[in-house]
């Protein structure tokens, strides 16, 4: 059942991007399973989610459509003139579910920390709510990520769970060839986080990593480092830099659907 939903959302996402002639397919597919488990099966009312890697917003749109926060008519306007759903989130729409217009990397963890600190220390009745933030491994190049990591750790934002989509690629190369792996377990531990690791596509693994993070009694903020595949589910796109940019041709779209059918 769950597996069927994951498959359906993969198909929906790829169709959305194909129809819109849009890119960022690889980066959206690498986090789709994580976001589905998070938003459909894990988050509670008044929990918050910040998508710091804003270029993966098509994955978020597809899930919010499934959750009836975005209408079918609205989703059909994605990427087009006059849309509320641009290729990086809007500042003017869906503020409850997409609190900030991300797209410039590095901002999300600070924004999420502000919400988490507010909930934990200053807002009555919200101290049980969790703030989630999805970042990417390439994004860990940004200095602000580490400013935020020090901050979240110092202020013991134990209600903050960072989800790291480690797909091993950034915009113009493999992470090890650009600045090296900025997203290691050791680095995040050194910055005072409780670090969990999980496969980013096996549903049971994702779910048990959420359970472990949520049941932790530690005062530390948590990070789950998800081992993911860029372009997950489409054979000719998996682990390629091109999947960050390329738009599917009709023949590729058919092939992609064939691949996804085997998921």
User: Which residues contribute to the site for another protein (CB under 8 A)?
Assistant: 91, 99-101, 103-104, 106-107, 110-119, 121-123, 126, 143-144, 147-148, 150-151, 154-155
- Ranges assigned E (strand) in the chain: 48-51, 131-136, 160-166, 169-170, 173-174, 194-199, 222-227
Taking the complex as a whole, the smallest distance from the CB of residue 205 to another protein amounts, in Å, to 30
Minimum CB–partner distance for residue 231 and another protein (Å) = 28
User: Closest separation between CB of residue 44 and another protein, Å?
Assistant: 16
Q: What are the beta bridge partners of residue 170? A: 173
- Least distance from C-beta 49 to another protein, angstroms? 13
Query: How many alpha carbons fall within 13 Å on the CB side of residue 205?
Result: 14
Residue 208 dihedral angles phi and psi, to the nearest 5°: -70, -25
Residues 6+ away with beta carbon under 8 Å from 23: 17, 244, 245, 246, 247
Contact status, residue 37 vs residue 207, Cβ threshold 8 Å? yes
Q: Where are the beta strands (DSSP E) in 42-158?
A: 48-51, 131-136
Helices and strands counted in the chain (H then E)? 10, 7
Q: Which is nearer to another protein, 7 or 69 (CB)?
A: 69
* Of residues 70 and 116, the one with the C-beta less far from another protein: 116
Q: Between residues 67 and 95, which has the closer beta carbon with respect to another protein?
A: 95
Q: Which is nearer to another protein, 72 or 91 (CB)?
A: 91
Nearer Cβ to another protein, position 35 or 115?
115
Q: What is the nearest approach in angstroms of another protein to the Cβ of residue 191?
A: 13
């Amino acid at each position: 059942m769950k597996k069927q939903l994951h498959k359906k959302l993969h198909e929906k996402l790829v169709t959305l991007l194909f129809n819109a002639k849009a890119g960022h397919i690889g980066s959206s597919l690498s986090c789709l399973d994580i976001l589905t488990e998070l938003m459909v099966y894990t988050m509670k009312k008044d929990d918050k989610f910040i998508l710091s890697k804003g270029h993966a917003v098509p994955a978020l749109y597809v899930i919010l459509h499934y959750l009836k926060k975005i209408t079918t008519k609205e989703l059909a306007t994605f990427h087009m003139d006059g849309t509320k759903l641009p290729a990086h989130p809007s500042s003017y729409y869906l503020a409850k579910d997409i609190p900030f217009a991300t797209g410039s990397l590095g901002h999300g963890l600070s924004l999420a920390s502000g919400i988490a600190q507010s909930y934990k220390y200053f807002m009555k009745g919200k101290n049980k709510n969790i703030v989630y933030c999805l970042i990417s491994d390439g994004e860990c190049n940004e200095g602000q990520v580490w400013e935020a990591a020090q901050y979240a750790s110092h202020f013991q934002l134990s209600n903050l769970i960072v989800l790291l989509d480690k797909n091993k690629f950034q915009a113009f190369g493999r992470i090890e060839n650009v600045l090296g792996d900025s997203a290691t377990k050791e680095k995040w531990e050194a910055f005072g986080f409780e670090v969990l690791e999980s496969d980013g596509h096996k549903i049971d693994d994702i779910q048990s990593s959420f359970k472990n993070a949520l049941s932790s009694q530690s005062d530390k903020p948590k990070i789950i480092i998800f081992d993911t595949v860029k372009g997950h589910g489409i054979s000719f796109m998996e682990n390629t830099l091109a999947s960050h940019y390329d738009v599917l041709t009709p023949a590729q779209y058919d092939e992609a659907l064939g691949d996804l059918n085997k998921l």
